[in-house]
Chain A
Amino acid sequence: MNEEKSGQMNELGDMGAMAWVNAGLTARYRRERRFKFFGLAAIAASLMFLVLLLGAIAIKGYTAFRQTQILLDIHFAPAVFDVHNLASANYAALVRDATLSLFPQAMDRQDRRAAIKLVSIGAAYQLQEMVTRKPELIGATKPIWVLAAGEVDMFVKGHISRDVTENERRISDKQATWIDQLAASGRLRQTFNATFFQAGDSRESELAGIRGAVMGSFFTLAVTLAFSFPIGVAAAVYLEEFAPKNRWADLIEVNINNLAAVPSIVFGLLGLAVFLNCMNLPRSASLVGGLVLTLMTLPTIIIASRASLRSVPSSIREAALGIGASQMQTVVHHVLPLSMPGMMTGAIIGMARALGETAPLLMIGMVAFIVDVPRGFSDPATVLPVQIYLWANNPERAFVERTAAAIMVLLLLLLAINASAVLLRNKFERRW
């Protein structure tokens, strides 16, 4: 009985092995398919969110890249100008006269004011610049495209609806008909919004641009890179190649990893206390912003650099030491060049993070309303993400679209930076 059973078992076992495997195989494949499906679903979900986010921003923001202009026939009346001081002339009056001449029916004070409001106050500066560049314009009458006011721009773009009652929109019925008149007579056009890329911030939406913020970001990041890269690499080289591996090294390691996780606002507070209050560096300056971001980026760069140094195989160090290179020569001639691409990748990623950073900069006053484009490291400046934050707080529809447009620019910059990191890695990465 026993024997019989075991014989049966054996037979079953022998014959059944393949059957078992086959039976299991379908289940295995099914599990594999399910696993693949979950993975794909996860990717699809995240892609969908990304598309949603980017789509929403793009749809809100793309109109900001176009701008409405009005064609005025400006008469540069000689009486307005003082030849010795062209800048002091009343350009606003020139604009006003030219605007009113388009609307002879606007007779009472209120109408005249409404008509004048169709043109941006930036038009006066535009004329001033033209005349200073070309004084021979004085006396002539010229058709000139000037900026329309922000409300007009919004109306033309359809962001101010005609359907709501008059007192709930920022363009009156009368203004609306004037705008239609202008459009009909070909005195209205939309062009590329160069102002957005050439101007600093402004209270007037049509004059507001990101140039100031971009330059602020540039100066800030320049300071950050100039400080954090050499310091970070030096620290990493010392810790990795020279420091004795003891309890102190472990302690430092833990602290660096910890610093990398400290909320960035803390670095802002530190910067406020040290750079502004103790060292009396200028408030709102990109120099201080850069220093604060240096503190924030340093741990990232040190960690990336150490990983990069560690990935250089010890056989290279031994080869150099073995023919009598000193420790220093080994590091400088062999280890550093080999780990440089990895270090630079780490630095670039750190820079990308710094570019998107807002909180610590708020603490050191880089959140001010700054009209002038900064020209140096000590000029008051703001940075792109802070500019976005500032505009996002402004309820005007024109600023809503500029916020979205600025976000697009920031994302493009980040994309470019991260792509350069990937390119660098692909180009120089070395497999051992």
Chain B
Amino acid sequence: MGSDDVLLQRLEAGETLAASRAMSVIERGGPEAESLLEALHPKTGRAWRIAFTGPGGAGKSSLIDRVIARERAHGRTIGVVAEDPSSPFSGGAILGDRVRMSHAQGDAGVFVRSLASRGSETGLSALAGELADVMDAFGRDLVVLESMGVGQVETRVRYMADTVVVVLTPEAGDDVQTMKSGLLEVADILVVNKCDRPGAEALAADLKSVAALRERSRGWATPVVQTSVTEDRGIDALEAALESHRAFLQQDGRREARRREALRERVRLLVEERVRADLWRDPTLAARFDAILEAVVGGRTSPHRAARDLAAAREAAAPNSSHHRR
């Protein structure tokens, strides 16, 4: 408890090493991480969080680098949490996002932290959100979250940030792919990056028509911005889109509503995680499970019936079963 306070004090005083070590404590998990996050939580909520997501190779890191340069020119301090996939075979990872972020180098106003996904199946893990909390408490004005490359289904990201930027490229696929992509539904800003390549105009037009369909329900017209990092085009338009989304959220309590929704989702997932972990540690359930599985394999009961019986048996035993662990 005392060590958390010291670390937190140093972190709030602006000591980079303290922020960095705090992130490692959280990465390592366990009771130390929980207690630090508990102390940290009241210090969070000030930073603006922007998530960049999209397929691998869409140019997210390079685009973030340009946004960093613009935001620094406005005098904002920045924290970046960049997630890359862990190898499912070795558990190791190569985290290469820093290479593209040259504007971060040699500037104390930019703090970049790389994170391996460690088996998380979403583009941004819950851990990325917790590291963003540290950046927030560390006093960064802006926290940029870079997801690893994602496919069509990535909706959790909307709970991770105030503004979600989805980055696509002309190679992303035809308009049907675009229509069915869950990614579009979470976008506050759509970017067609590498717009110097053929097909950019057509993709942008498709995206605009999809975005227009959604405008009425949200009161926000999702802008479609074409950018090219190599030709330094469209970065000002992206910056303007970020600013106008920020202004939009600042009206009518929208930001608070969004933050509440994000926290609700976060707590919900943590509850599920806990219940699930407790569930399979229950020895009576395990014994019952093995017995009933035999009946399922032998055709004497169905999977659904087995599940219903197991859940009912557990519920009946619930009042005194969940307190004696840990």
Chain A partners chain B: no
Please list the residues of chain B having a beta carbon within 8 angstroms of any beta carbon in chain A.
none
